[in-house]
Amino acid sequence: MTKTQDAQRLQDLAQLMLDQRLHALRLAGEQLQRSRDQLSAINDPAAPVDLSPVTAGLVDVTYQRWADIRRAELNATIARQTVALIEARAEAGQAFGRTRALEGALTRLAQRR
């Protein structure tokens, strides 16, 4: 194989890696958004229902107890997903840099010929 063919194969591999990293970044962003949407839905007020004041109070207390636990779970999940998104963004940036560097190397190789 020639240097140009080797460089082209490297660039193809780098492009595949970039595509994979961008896909992982998109998935991480979607998962984070889904968790944020769930947290937002928990915080939305419930629709008014025709219940006696005592029953409504019991329902509200029970819901708030469950919602507090779920909020804590979601906040921990959001923190982990935020870290995963930051890492995925960094990996995608590195893959993009490699792809651009190989494009430049290929251009220089083509100009030499």
pLDDT tens-digit readout, 55-68: 988 988 999 999 99
Q: What's the rounded Cα separation, in Å, for the pair 63 and 68?
A: 9
Neighbours of 90 (CB within 10 A): 12
Tokens representing residue 39 in the block: 């947290």
- What is the model's pTM? 0.81
Cβ atoms 98, 10 nearer than 8 A: no
Categorize the per-residue pLDDT at 93 as very low, low, confident or very high, splitting at 50, 70 and 90: very high
- Set out the domains of the chain in order of their start, with CATH numbers: 3-112 (1.10.287)
Cβ atoms 71, 42 nearer than 8 A: yes
